[in-house]
Structure 1
Amino acid sequence: MFNRETILKNLNTENYYIDNHSLDLFLEDWKIESIYEDEDGLEFYDDLALEKIKKGISLKAQGYSDEQIIAKLSRMEAKIEKNEEPAKPVQPLIVSDLLEENTAASTDVAVKEETQTEIIPQGKSFTLDVSSQTLQMLAEAVAKKISDDITNSDMATRLIEAGGYKRDNEILAKQVHELLEHNKELSKRIEQLESHESKNFWSRFWGKH
């Protein structure tokens, strides 16, 4: 805390050269009040009062009126009060309270679920209980069905292709058989012709001799 004497010393140290009379006028005109007065009537001021006096002297030197200085000093006081606003105390975290809150929340969810079930009309209420194992079984069944379909499709394709090859082979074998039969007939006719020519030749030969 400062009294008027110590305020003057502080101001003079920082090159604010004023006398006791000027200080009294500044305190009165700028409405800077003391925070404490002892039994002898000696007034004491805080750090904010000292800063206000310094700020007021600087503004006075720049030509500001007393009303303007008072307005600026009041903003200065409001700014300090805002900065000194006490922080909200940190509430201790109690594990038991947290567990109770979680339990209460779970109970609320359960009550809401029961309420929603009751709202569902008769005949439309159902319960869906699907475990991970059930989902896995369904997935495997679907995969097996798809695999079987693909396998059966490939088998059918192979059968169709095999049937086509078989028909082609049958047709080719039939054609080969027909060619063989035709060759046999040609060979037989050639033999007949050769035999006939041979007889005619020898007949003509012996006839001449």
Structure 2
Amino acid sequence: MISEQANKIFDQAITDYHVHNLIDAQLKNPYSKHSLEHLLYLKCWIDTVQWHMEDEVRDPSIDPVKGLLWKRRIDQSNQERTDTVEYIDSYYLDKFKDVGPLPDATINTESPAWAIDRLSILALKIYHMQLEATRLSASPEHRSQCNAKLQVLLEQRADLSGSIDQLLDDISSGKKYMKVYKQMKMYNDPSLNPILYAEDPKV
């Protein structure tokens, strides 16, 4: 099942990151570059780095200039995250290219890769909620509340994992079909963001 494989790889990426716990730590993807495993590891690594950047930018005493730098790094990370999700969808489009949809086949509300994206984020939530649920410097009440939230997150992961596996089974059997729309983010495109193209008379 792909969800079992993905969850293991996500946990591996999160653990690997926290060996040094540095936003600028060098990515050392252990999987073959053109494999699905490579994309899954990369996806979760990007998410993990961005998680910690989001922590930094929420410092209430942060210098505004430093905050803007973090915001721009987060924007860049979001673009890398989106690109990686689309690479994962491209993998599945190729994998299922010869599957003919059944006459009553339907389309899903989200593509396989965007569902896997949510699974990666859940892995991060589970990791950090587990830390909070066992943090000895926190109050018993805090740990108890976090443990309750952790159980919900674990249930969510089980449900989402099953849904992803079912979706891929349905696509492989023709019960559902893939239709992927590129994100077409406009604010990073100098020809589409009016603030950016106002500065360039050639656009």
Q: TM-score range by the shorter chain?
A: under 0.3
Larger Rg: 1
Q: TM-score, normalised by structure 2?
A: 0.18
Instruction: Flag the structure with more relative contact order, 1 or 2, with Cα contacts below 8 A and sequence separation at least 6.
Output: 2
Q: Would you tell me which structure has more helix in proportion to its own residues?
A: 1
Q: TM-score, normalised by structure 1?
A: 0.18
